[in-house]
Amino acid sequence: MSTPRRLLLVNGPNLNLLGTREPQIYGTGTLADVEQIVTHAASALGFAVRAIQSNHEGVLLDAIHAARDDCAGIVINPGGLTHTSIVLRDALTGVALPIAEVHISDVRAREEFRHFSYVRDIAAVRVVGEGVPGYGRATRLLIETITGRAEG
């Protein structure tokens, strides 16, 4: 089967609150902005995007499992699950798709408990601390990984 030209965009718990609170940490962009940035970056390179945000871990796992059937890679900001969830990591390794891990804030410069990531070592691409625009760069780098072509 040929590689599907579609990405799954996953935003984890609380990222629906983007743009409503804590602008000093996360900026003023909303979840809708994130989805638009990723869709735009992907479409410029010929890829479609299916986006999901959920505050429920099982819903995220089901969406990741479904990506096996029709996606070529996953752009994911797991939110706080980054630092806690072996279950999420197992789902990501289970589907064996290339992953771009995104964090809006610079987790390395925040509390110690945000320094560890269960996703880091299985991610092909990692973009941290570049704000909402970081999702766009992560998308381009992930597509470059998938297609083997350099970012334009």
Q: At residue 41, what is the residue type?
A: A
How far apart are the C-alpha atoms of 22 and 15, rounded to whole Å?
Answer: 11
* Residues with a known catalytic role: 26, 103
Q: Which residues bind ligand CA2 (CB under 6 A)?
A: 14-15, 17-18, 21-22, 26, 77, 79-80, 82, 103-105, 107, 114
Contacts of 50 (CB under 8 A, 6+ apart): 6, 7, 8, 9, 67, 71
Q: Whose Cβ is closer to ligand CA2: residue 17's or residue 87's?
A: 17
Which one, of 116, 124, 55, 57, lies nearest residue 96 by Cα? 124
Q: Whose Cβ is closer to ligand CA2: residue 4's or residue 13's?
A: 13
Task: Provide, rounded to whole angstroms, the least separation between the CB of residue 23 and ligand CA2.
Answer: 8
Task: Provide, rounded to whole angstroms, the least separation between the CB of residue 46 and ligand CA2.
Answer: 27
Q: Whose Cβ is closer to ligand CA2: residue 41's or residue 107's?
A: 107
Task: Provide, rounded to whole angstroms, the least separation between the CB of residue 31 and ligand CA2.
Answer: 9
Q: What is the longest distance spanned by two Cα atoms in the chain?
A: 46
